[in-house]
Amino acid sequence: NAAKAEPGGDVLWVGRIFRVRRTFTAEDVATFARLSGDANPIHSHSDAAAAAGLGLCGPVVHGMLAASLFSGIIGTRFPARPQRCSPSPHELPCVRLQASHSLLY
């Protein structure tokens, strides 16, 4: 069931597990909230998280911030392949790092 590995790369197959340990700080969450525009108070205030019925003892890390760890796994375990940016409406656009950039979805 294993896929063919690229030279210098790892092998990926369905069910493969990669583990990453990362402690997110309040500063990480605040930075992500500022960059993403998600200012939901469950991410910054314990009372709001408790009132939302999350049963936790503090603010909740944004799901997309936690999911960003996948990028690190893929980016460090598998060799980079050039990707073509597509204007197709079925694909997300490539966003290149610039001084400023606007995206409309």
Q: How far apart are CA 24 and CA 16, in angstroms?
A: 24
pLDDT on residue 102 = 52
Q: Which two tokens stand for residue 12?
A: 């990926």
Closest by Cα among 66, 59, 23 to 43:
59
| pTM strictly above 0.75 | no
- Burial letters for 13-23: b for 16+ Cβ neighbours within 10 Å, e otherwise? eeeeeeeeeee
Look over the chain and give the mean of its residue pLDDT values, rounded to a whole number: 76
48, 41 contact by CB (below 8 A): yes
